[in-house]
Amino acid sequence: MSDAGLFFSRQAPGSEQALRSAVYAGEVFQLAATAATQALVIDARAALAAALADCGPDPRVAARALSGEEFFRRMGALRRLFYTDPRFHDHLRAVVAAAGFSVKDVAFDPLRLRVVDHLGHENPSAAAVYYPHRDTWYGHPSALIVGWIALDDLLPEETFWFFPRNFAAPAPNDSEIFDYDAWVRDGWSLKIGWQDPEAGRRARYPRFTGATRPAPAVGFGCAAGELLLFSGAHLHETRSHALGRTRFSLDFRLVHLGDAAAGRGAPNVDGRARGSALADYVRGAVG
């Protein structure tokens, strides 16, 4: 990976091992939609439409028709559905298999609905959504592979940035504040994400602590159903926007259990989180 920019590969290597190795080395894959990702998007959109049916035909503008509290409540119910429902676990297994992974050899942190609203960065309770961070700062192993799927076609300003020069170079951060066991001790509301409307004000989320954003910041646009795969060690940041609509996406975390046991994965150049989330992952194989 060149430090002059981040290369988005449109085609995965021919073997799963080569794909994992490339991700651990910092390569980012933006893969075409498959039947599995398209089926997931259809079901996720249907759930969104049902939850927001009284707000008009376009879920992306539904937030304008609801109070902030009511919109948050409905999104919380959907987050719980996508994260816990066995039907969506099966969707995720199909997505992972279609991407070339052996489902029996992996475990996953299930689907998380991400909701990035118009001018959301102005809401103090949502501040942590926009922190530059590495997912590995949250107690995930170095073998972490992140999958990300948009539910709509998105412009670059609706997605997020990567900071490729910091993939293998330390960035100032406060990841030492994070203890996974303490994070989930009182329930999984924080783990599932944003179940508590005041969590963004009270909870401490690991973040980049530098005075200025790293450079270069490399972004991307995408089509609905495309699958982005990248290392959880990448420093990245959700972009704020003022486009008058909400960005809905799904992401998941994937770990090859053999790689994790052998200590394989991306370099850990600055992570100091305590505890391990891996014990709470869902095993890929059923039964």
Q: Is the pLDDT of residue 195 over 70?
A: no
- Dihedral of the CA atoms 36, 41, 46, 49 (nearest 10)? 180
Q: Give pLDDT, residue 255.
A: 98
Q: Is the pLDDT of residue 111 over 80?
A: yes
Strands (E), the chain: 8-9, 28-31, 106-116, 144-150, 160-162, 227-231, 236-238, 247-256, 282-283
pLDDT band for position 285 (50/70/90)? confident
Give the whole-angstrom CA distance, residue 11 versus residue 14: 9
pLDDT band for position 204 (50/70/90)? confident
pLDDT band for position 187 (50/70/90)? low
**Has residue 37 been placed in a domain?**
yes
Q: What is the DSSP string of 36-58?
A: HHHHHHHHHHHHHHHHTGGG-S-
**Has residue 61 been placed in a domain?**
yes
pLDDT band for position 122 (50/70/90)? very high
**Has residue 3 been placed in a domain?**
no
Q: How many domains does the chain have?
A: 1
**Has residue 270 been placed in a domain?**
yes
**Residue 30 β-bridge partners:** 228
When comparing pLDDT for 189 and 256, which is higher? 256
Q: Give pLDDT, residue 47.
A: 98
183 phi/psi in degrees, rounded to 5:
-60, -40
Lowest mean pLDDT among 87-96, 101-110, 123-132, 168-177: 123-132
**Has residue 48 been placed in a domain?**
yes
Question: Exposed (0-12), middle (13-18) or buried (19+): which is 174, by Cβ within 10 Å?
Answer: middle
State the CATH number of the domain containing residue 169: 2.60.120
Model pTM score: 0.94
**Has residue 1 been placed in a domain?**
no
**Has residue 64 been placed in a domain?**
yes
Lowest mean pLDDT among 142-156, 160-174, 181-195, 222-236: 181-195
What is the pLDDT averaged over residues 279-285?
A: 90
**Nearest Cα to 194, choosing from 75, 64, 45, 65?**
75
Q: Is the pLDDT of residue 19 over 70?
A: yes
Contact 245, 117 (CB under 8 A): no
The range of the structural domain enclosing residue 266 comes to: 8-283
**Has residue 55 been placed in a domain?**
yes
Contact 225, 249 (CB under 8 A): no
**Radius of gyration for the alpha carbons in the chain, expressed in angstroms and rounded:** 18
What is the pLDDT averaged over residues 153-161?
A: 96
Q: Is the pLDDT of residue 3 over 80?
A: no
